[in-house]
């Protein structure tokens, strides 16, 4: 999604209501996803179903950072406070704009004079804080591997925080992480004088642990830490191998969090343990990976947890903060946590205890066929709450766009296993559906507290995953040299994004091809292994010999097979990459809809409506009904029944009627 659209969504909403006679508290969008409850809900009412069609673009802001290779992206959910819009650009500069006319007030470049971290990762939002007198106003945000404290009035670093206004995210994790990848892409929350923050870490071998920390908002000092991979003596330690706390990574709260200030409880969704798709070195349930965690916001102590996937082998990270809601069950009011998932499940839990509000059943799932792997024998399935996406891909679901597309997809299916949603990864290939990007994704769901309706946009696209063995790639067991060792290293660390054939792909914003790299590389090409760039993590812990092996393989030089000592052929496994299952024309292999917007009545556990979200203009012109598309970025809803959403690659900004899912306004941004 381009930068202009990301900011335009909120400018259209706020700009139409930001008038002097409107109470400022109803206009501000002071928190990521709107409120500490992550509701994405606004009480503004000046835009109505009757006048929304007259809505016009007031202004746009272009940061001028578009990548000519189409690899730039902006995922930020801007804040609006007191008439000022705060957001980030494609290269993670922090900007303050006049929300009424788009004029830039100031900007802050976190990488000025520090090119080694320039542009690492993305930023999805900010944390705003002000003191009781509103004299001191701060923006806290992460860029690269640092957390910054910025004066919201001037854009200057606040020196008393950390060292000169910054804190290293690699420090204070109770582990030596000098050579590991630790970012924070999604903002945390402030409780009293503490900023609670999760992190993004690598998803392959040698990943950092995803421990959760709280920082003093004035000094930057770490106030508490919660070990998501438990240390000896801590709750959940027995759900891992004994040494996992020193070796395993992941289980990180990358998607943000919600806060109940009155209870003093912060609710965090966590991701899978690393490596995502092969867990022979992490047998067990793996707490607190794939959990909804309820922690004491003041101390970091665990109050309760609920694990949505045991011993994850499918990258089923919980993708967004839970919605905190109050609903009525059997005549009684209950405060609940509503968690969307990539698999399309909805988990509704009691806010105080974590007990399921609606029945959840542990069902048997298939075992793994890979050497050394021990898939967990059961997984939790909500029984009463309906899923918001399709749950299986079979022959009846194969695309019907054309006879040739149908035949093309069925031919691939005949060689691939698609028999179960929780079929473990294998070396013969399996279908992952919903795909690695959901179901639900990082944009999150919106909740209307008046109608008790949850609105969630989703992806319904199958992916193909195949595992391949890798051998002897560690420095202590380098049984190959030259390009043979490099090939094994490439498969282990690079193929997941660049593909087993080095062709690159769509994952995380057009990953470049490495085919024929020998014709384009320069002396600095391989510096990226040390520094990282964009969504690519750094691999500074690779030894000189390992880097040379990768060079030999990618540049097609060196030996192909030379064994230098006794070696161990015990396999580990890696994935061939994040591969979307498409027909020969590049459209998803499943029948439409490929992207949807769904309304769920939480109290009565029923789907109210479900409509396609997004379209391919060329298919619409050919007379094919709207198919929906992949979509990233959540909805905003208002108290008078409107739902605003961009998110789609057709670059349209749409307004839906919350009552029935009908589009009542659509702005074609390409004509602006």
Q: In this model, does residue 212 exceed pLDDT 50? A: yes
Token representation of residue 518? 């020998």
With pLDDT > 70 as the criterion, what percentage of the chain qualifies?
A: 85
Q: What is the mean pLDDT of the chain?
A: 88
| Residue 146 confidence (pLDDT) above 50 | yes
Q: Report which DSSP code applies to 413.
A: H
User: Tell me, what's the pLDDT at 550?
Assistant: 75
C-alpha to C-alpha distance for 167 and 200, rounded to whole angstroms: 16
pLDDT (0 to 100) of residue 566: 39
**What does the pLDDT look like over 649-659, one tens digit per residue?**
999 999 999 99
What is the three-class DSSP state of 187?
coil
Q: Give CA 366 to chain center in angstroms.
A: 27
Topology at the third CATH level for domain 472-569: Cytochrome Bc1 Complex; Chain D, domain 2 (1.10.760)
Contact 183, 142 (CB under 8 A): yes
Of 246, 161, 150, 143, the C-alpha closest to 200 is 143
Question: Is the CB of residue 105 less than 8 Å from the CB of residue 96?
Answer: yes
Specify the long-range contacts of residues 148-155, CB closer than 8 Å, at least 24 apart. Answer: 148/94, 148/108, 148/110, 149/217, 149/220, 150/94, 150/108, 152/81, 152/84, 152/86, 152/96, 152/128, 154/106, 155/94, 155/96, 155/105, 155/106, 155/107, 155/108
φ/ψ of residue 403, rounded to 5 = -65, -40
Which sign, positive or negative, has the C-alpha torsion 491, 493, 494, 497? Answer: positive
pLDDT digits (tens, 9 = 90+) for 306-333: 999 999 999 999 999 999 999 999 999 9
Q: Where are the domains of the chain?
A: 113-389+433-460+587-671, 472-569
pLDDT of the residue at 115: 59
Contact of 78 with 10, CB cutoff 8 Å: yes
**pLDDT value at residue 538:** 67
pLDDT bracket for residue 624 (50, 70, 90) = very high
Q: For the residues 280-309, what does the mean pLDDT come to?
A: 98
Are 218 and 160 in contact, with CB atoms under 8 Å apart?
A: yes
Q: Report the candidate in 173, 205, 362, 392 with the shortest Cα–Cα distance to residue 282.
A: 205
DSSP state of 641: S
What is the structure's pLDDT at 565?
A: 40
Q: Is the pLDDT of residue 9 over 60?
A: no
Query: Residue 534's pLDDT is what?
Result: 63
Spatial contact of 340 and 440, defined as CB atoms under 8 Å apart = yes
Asked whether the predicted pLDDT for residue 16 surpasses 80, the reply is no
**Burial per residue of 609-632, b for 16 or more beta-carbon CB atoms within 10 angstroms, e otherwise:** bbbbbbbbeebeeeeeebbbbbbb
Give the bridge partners for 403, in sequence order. none
Tell me if 127 sits within 8 A of 137, measured CB to CB. no
- Confidence grade of residue 545 (pLDDT, cut at 50, 70, 90): low
Residue 355 has pLDDT above 70, yes or no: yes
Which pLDDT score is estimated for 168?
A: 95
**Region at 513 (left for phi over 0; alpha for psi -120 to 50; beta for the rest):** beta
Q: Assess whether pLDDT exceeds 90 at residue 562.
A: no
Helix (H) or strand (E) holding 466: none
The CATH class of 113-389+433-460+587-671 is mainly beta
Q: Which range among 191-195, 453-457, 571-575, 609-613 shows the weakest confidence by mean pLDDT?
A: 571-575
pLDDT at 290: 98
Report the pLDDT value the prediction gives residue 323, as an integer from 0 to 100: 98
pLDDT at 472 (0 to 100) = 55
Lowest mean pLDDT among 380-394, 556-570, 571-585: 556-570
Residue 493 binned pLDDT confidence (cut-offs 50, 70, 90): low
Is the pLDDT at 554 greater than 90? The verdict is no
Pairing relationship of beta strands 41-42 and 636-638 according to DSSP bridges: parallel
Lowest mean pLDDT among 135-144, 367-376, 379-388, 479-488: 479-488
**Has residue 13 got a pLDDT over 70?**
no
For residue 479, the model assigns a pLDDT of 40
Residue 458 has pLDDT above 80, yes or no: yes
**Could you tell me which of 441, 369, 409, 464 has the C-alpha nearest to residue 596?**
441
Q: Is the pLDDT of residue 522 over 90?
A: no
The strand pairing partners of 258, in sequence order, are 267
* Res 481: pLDDT: 45
- Distance CA(602)–CA(471), nearest Å, equals 49
pLDDT tens by residue, 221-274: 999 999 999 999 999 999 999 999 999 999 999 999 999 999 999 999 999 999
- In angstroms, the CA 299 to CA 403 distance is 60
Rg (CA), the chain: 24
Predicted confidence band at 178 (pLDDT cuts at 50, 70, 90)? low
């Amino acid at each position: 999604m381009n930068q202009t659209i990301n900011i335009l969504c909120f400018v259209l909403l706020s700009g139409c209501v930001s008038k002097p006679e409107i109470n400022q508290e109803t206009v501000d969008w002071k928190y990521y996803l709107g409120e500490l409850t992550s509701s994405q809900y606004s009480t503004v009412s000046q835009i109505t179903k009757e006048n929304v069609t007259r809505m016009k673009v007031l202004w746009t802001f272009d940061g001028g950072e578009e990548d000519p290779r189409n690899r730039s992206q902006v995922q930020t959910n801007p804040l609006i406070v007191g008439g000022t819009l705060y957001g980030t650009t494609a290269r993670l500069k922090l900007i303050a704009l006049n929300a009424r006319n788009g004029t830039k007030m100031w900007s802050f470049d976190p990488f000025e004079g520090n090119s080694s971290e320039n542009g690492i990762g993305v930023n999805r939002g900010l944390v705003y804080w002000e003191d009781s007198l509103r004299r001191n106003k701060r923006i806290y945000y992460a860029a690269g591997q640092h957390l910054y404290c910025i004066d919201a009035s001037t854009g200057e670093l606040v020196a008393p925080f950390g060292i000169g206004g910054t804190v290293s995210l690699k420090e204070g994790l109770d582990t030596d992480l000098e050579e590991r990848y630790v970012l924070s892409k999604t903002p945390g929350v402030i409780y009293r004088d503490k900023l609670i923050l999760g992190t993004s870490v690598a998803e392959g071998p040698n990943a950092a642990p995803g421990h959760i920390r709280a920082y003093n908002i004035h000094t930057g000092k770490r106030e508490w830490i919660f070990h998501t991979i438990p240390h000896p003596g801590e709750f959940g330690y027995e759900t891992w191998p004994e040494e996992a706390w020193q070796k395993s990574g992941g289980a990180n709260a990358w998607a943000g969090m919600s806060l109940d200030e009155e209870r003093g409880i912060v609710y965090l969704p966590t991701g899978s343990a690393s490596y995502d798709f092969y867990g022979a070195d992490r047998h067990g349930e793996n707490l607190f990976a794939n959990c909804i965690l309820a922690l004491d916001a003041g101390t970091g102590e665990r109050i309760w947890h609920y694990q949505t996937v045991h011993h994850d082998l499918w990258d089923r990270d919980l993708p967004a903060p839970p919605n905190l809601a109050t609903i009525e069950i059997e005549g009684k009011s209950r405060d609940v946590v509503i968690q969307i998932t990539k698999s399309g499940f909805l988990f509704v839990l009691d806010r105080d205890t974590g007990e399921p509000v609606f029945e959840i059943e542990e069902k048997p799932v298939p075992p793994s066929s890979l050497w050394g792997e021990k898939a967990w024998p059961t997984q939790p399935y909500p029984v009463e709450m309906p899923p918001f996406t399709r749950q299986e891909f079979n022959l009846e679901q194969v695309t019907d766009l054309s006879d040739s597309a149908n035949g093309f997809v069925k031919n691939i299916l005949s060689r691939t296993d698609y028999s179960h949603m929780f079929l473990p990864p294998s070396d013969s290939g399996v279908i992952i559906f919903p795909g690695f990007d959901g179901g639900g994704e990082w944009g999150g769901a919106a909740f209307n507290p008046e109608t008790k309706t949850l609105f969630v946009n989703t992806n319904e696209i199958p992916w193909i995953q195949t595992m391949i063995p890798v051998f002897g790639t560690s420095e202590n067991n380098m049984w190959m040299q030259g390009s043979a060792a490099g090939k094994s290293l490439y498969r282990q660390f690079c193929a997941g994004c660049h593909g087993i054939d080095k062709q690159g792909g769509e994952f995380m914003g057009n990953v470049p091809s490495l085919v024929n790299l020998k014709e384009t590389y320069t002396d600095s090409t391989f510096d990226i292994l040390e520094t990282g760039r964009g969504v690519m993590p750094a691999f500074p812990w690779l030894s000189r010999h390992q880097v040379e092996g990768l060079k030999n393989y990618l540049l097609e030089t060196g030996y192909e097979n030379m064994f230098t000592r006794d070696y161990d052929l015990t396999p580990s496994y890696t994935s061939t990459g994040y591969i979307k299952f498409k027909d020969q024309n590049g459209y998803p292999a499943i029948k439409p809809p490929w992207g949807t917007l769904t309304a769920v009545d939480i109290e009565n556990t029923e789907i109210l409506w479900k409509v396609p979200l997004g379209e391919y203009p060329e298919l619409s012109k050919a007379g094919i009904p709207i198919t929906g598309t992949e979509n990233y970025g959540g909805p905003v809803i208002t108290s008078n029944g409107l739902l605003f959403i961009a998110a789609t690659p057709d670059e349209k900004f749409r307004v839906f009627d919350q009552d029935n899912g009908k589009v009542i306004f659509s702005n074609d941004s390409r004509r602006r």
